[in-house]
Amino acid sequence: MKLPDAEKLCEELARELRPRLTPRSAMIGLYTGGAWLAERLHALLALKEPLGLMDIAFYRDDYHAQGLHHDPKRTKIPFDVNGRELLLVDDVLYTGRTVRAAMNELFDYGRPASIALVVLADRGGRELPIAAQYCGARLEVPSGMRLRLTREASGKLALVLEPSRAA
Amino acid sequence: MQRSPQLNAKGELQHLLSIEGLPREILIQILDTAESFVGVTEREVKKVPLLRGKSVFNLFFEPSTRTRTTFEIAAKRLSADVINLNIALSSQTKGESLLDTVANLSAMQADIFVVRHASSGAPFLIARHVKPHEHVVNAGDGRHAHPTQGLLDLYTIRHYKKEFSRLTVAIIGDVLHSRVARSLIHGLSTLGVPEVRVIGPQTLLPTGVEALGVKVFHDMKAGLRECDVVVMLRLQNERMSGALLPSAQEYFKSYGLTAEKLGLARADAIVMHPGPMNRGVEIDSSVADGPHSVILPQVTFGIAVRMAVMSIVAG
């Protein structure tokens, strides 16, 4: 399967987002791929509020089956989420479970005015009623494969497709 | 080599019984996870849903306020239901055996037992008899171990000193009766601290303590020189049997931490104490409340560390 150029998708997303920004806009990236994408978008859009970063390990719905993920990162939201128009950024949208967990965690920080979901790619396979408002590319990826974002030492972003690890 | 009773077949933490025998990766996993939980404890809503629907039984066969309370807070912040049992006052006095007590609580659908017991090894005995989905966390057994206190000490040291590989750590006082000291020494050596010193009178240091890889000092001033971390231990009056010490005043003169003695350690040294403190016996108030003291942050970090332990074993 030919994968789209992540760098190009990133610039397109920034172009699409720019006219929708308001003084109440703020951005939060989900570890790990979403955080890389958010760092890039945050810089391209020159957002005033510092970037928030979130690890949803403590809100996952597979804790009882999978246990706690190793090395969860510390969630850091350096602004008050109350009344914000939040842009929630992830690299790939799949089942929707990560986004569900992220929204639950966000509401433990306060009550945002709105949340819009920004993803680089939507690979289908949704298990929850969740959709992205800003989506770089739509791809059909078979269930045995994993689509994820990588970041090279140079900072260059790229999508890769690989067999998913056995659970 | 026989597998540690704390780990399952995949090498994951199943129970937390002692720091001794835990590999470095598990210690680091606990400290890293605790760091994420520190973030949670600084929020407005200090709760995450991880242990929703789970029951944590605090089994305290020996009195403790601080440890029991911090375990209770930690479990509640993980959304677990917490049941506190002060066993010293109940069934055991009626003659029920330890394992019968645990079997009864297990029948009440327990998921985690937090155990404090005056006998060394009691949590190990319980861990051998619980069902596969039940987990045991040692909250202090006899003179043997107090792993969550050791872990929170390690967390505190990492928080202030960043790295373990260049530190000199002094543990001062009643090492003989201290399960805290034992747990901490094992943790420090697993994490690669090059120099651990124990300082105290001959009568309060266990014989053969050098075998743990520590340097022994009887002169506090010599032992404090160039230390990065100073861990004071409580003089455990209630355990003191026989004449190990002349008097509390004498003890303070030789082994109490004063600002003057602390001046021999490094300028950026931190002072820790597992609490409760005996001011004027092992530590002077000016030090306990002074700029080097991290005694209260230790308590705060202790909650995050206990959240990490419970969420890792129950996962």
Residues B168 and B281 both lie in one domain? yes
Please write the tens of the pLDDT for every residue from B191-206: 999 999 999 999 899 9
| A74 with B39: Cβ contact below 8 A | yes
Higher pLDDT, B92 or B173: B173
β-pairing, A157-163 with A145-151?
antiparallel
A166 pLDDT higher than 70: no
What single letter denotes the amino acid at residue B143?
Answer: R
Chains A & B: contacts with CB separation below 8 Å: 50
* Burial tier of B309 (Cβ tally within 10 Å: 0-12, 13-18, 19+): buried
Pick the residue from chain A with its C-alpha nearest to B312: A68
Reported confidence tier of residue B91, pLDDT bands at 50, 70, 90 = low
| B44 with A110: Cβ contact below 8 A | yes
What single letter denotes the amino acid at residue B234?
Answer: R
Q: Give residue A157's pLDDT.
A: 96
Pick the residue from chain B with its C-alpha nearest to A76: B39
Reported confidence tier of residue B242, pLDDT bands at 50, 70, 90 = low
Domain housing A98: 6-59+74-163
| A63 with B38: Cβ contact below 8 A | no
Tokens 């399952």 correspond to what residue?
A: B8
Residues B126 and B171 both lie in one domain? no
Domain housing B91: 24-145+300-313
Measured from the Cβ of residue B277, the count of other Cβ atoms closer than 10 Å reads 16
* CATH code of the domain covering residue A18: 3.40.50.2020
Please give the structure tokens belonging to residue A111.
């009550």
Instruction: Give contacts of A97 with chain B, Cβ < 8 Å.
Output: none
What's the helix, strand, coil split of chain B in %, to 5?
Answer: 40, 15, 40
Residues B152 and B199 both lie in one domain? yes
Instruction: Give contacts of A100 with chain B, Cβ < 8 Å.
Output: none
B153 pLDDT higher than 60: yes
| Residue B13, min C-alpha distance to chain A (Å) | 11
Q: Measuring CA to CA, which residue among B137, B21, B131 is closest to residue B71?
A: B137
B79–A contact, CB cutoff 8 A? no
Cα B18 to the chain's mean position, in Å? 9
Using the Cα atoms of residue A10, residue A108, residue B29 and residue B162 in order, give the sign of their dihedral. positive
Instruction: Give contacts of A58 with chain B, Cβ < 8 Å.
Output: 36-37, 40, 48-50, 311
Q: Give residue B114's pLDDT.
A: 97
Please give the structure tokens belonging to residue B123.
């949590």
Does some domain include residue A126? yes
Does some domain include residue A69? no
Please give the structure tokens belonging to residue B9.
């077949």
Q: Percentage of chain A surpassing pLDDT 70?
A: 99
| A58 with B49: Cβ contact below 8 A | yes
Does some domain include residue A68? no
Phi-psi group of B242: left, alpha or beta (phi > 0 → left; psi -120 to 50 → alpha; rest → beta):
left
Q: Give residue B289's pLDDT.
A: 97
B7–A contact, CB cutoff 8 A? no
Domain count, chain A: 1
| B311 with A68: Cβ contact below 8 A | yes
Does some domain include residue B4? no
* CATH code of the domain covering residue B39: 3.40.50.1370
Residues B263 and B168 both lie in one domain? yes
B241 pLDDT higher than 60: no
Does some domain include residue A139? yes
Q: Give residue B248's pLDDT.
A: 81
Residues B159 and B288 both lie in one domain? yes
A154 pLDDT higher than 90: yes
Q: What is the DSSP string of B77-121?
A: HTT-EEEEEEGGGSGGGGT--HHHHHHHHHHT--SEEEEEESSTT
Reported confidence tier of residue B240, pLDDT bands at 50, 70, 90 = low
What single letter denotes the amino acid at residue B105?
Answer: L
Please write the tens of the pLDDT for every residue from B98-127: 888 889 889 999 999 999 999 999 999 999
| Residue B31, min C-alpha distance to chain A (Å) | 9
Contact B48, B40 (CB under 8 A): yes
Domain count, chain B: 2
A21 pLDDT higher than 90: yes
Chain A residues bordering chain B (beta-carbon distance below 8 Å): 55, 57-59, 63-64, 66-68, 70-76, 104-105, 108-110
Instruction: Give contacts of A67 with chain B, Cβ < 8 Å.
Output: 12, 312, 315
Q: Measuring CA to CA, which residue among A41, A49, A51, A43 is closest to residue A16?
A: A41
Reported confidence tier of residue B94, pLDDT bands at 50, 70, 90 = low
Cβ neighbours of residue A119 closer than 8 Å, sequence gap 6 or more: A89, A90, A91, A92, A93, A132, A134, A135, A136
Instruction: Give contacts of B50 with chain A, Cβ < 8 Å.
Output: 58, 63, 68
| A75 with B36: Cβ contact below 8 A | yes
Q: Give residue A1's pLDDT.
A: 79
Does some domain include residue A64? no
Does some domain include residue B2? no
CA angle A132, A136, A137 (to 5 degrees): 95
Q: Residue B112 and residue A14: Cα distance in Å, rounded?
A: 48
H-run or E-run covering B312: helix B295-313
| B36 with A63: Cβ contact below 8 A | no
Please write the tens of the pLDDT for every residue from A125-144: 999 999 999 999 999 999 89
Query: In the structure, how many helices (H) and strands (E) does chain A have?
Result: 4, 7
Reported confidence tier of residue B96, pLDDT bands at 50, 70, 90 = confident
Q: Give residue A167's pLDDT.
A: 45
Q: Give residue B53's pLDDT.
A: 94
Alpha helix stretches (DSSP H) within A22-165 = 33-45, 63-66, 97-107
Does some domain include residue A141? yes
Reported confidence tier of residue A35, pLDDT bands at 50, 70, 90 = very high
- What does pLDDT average to over chain A? 95
Q: Residue B152 and residue B141: Cα distance in Å, rounded?
A: 17
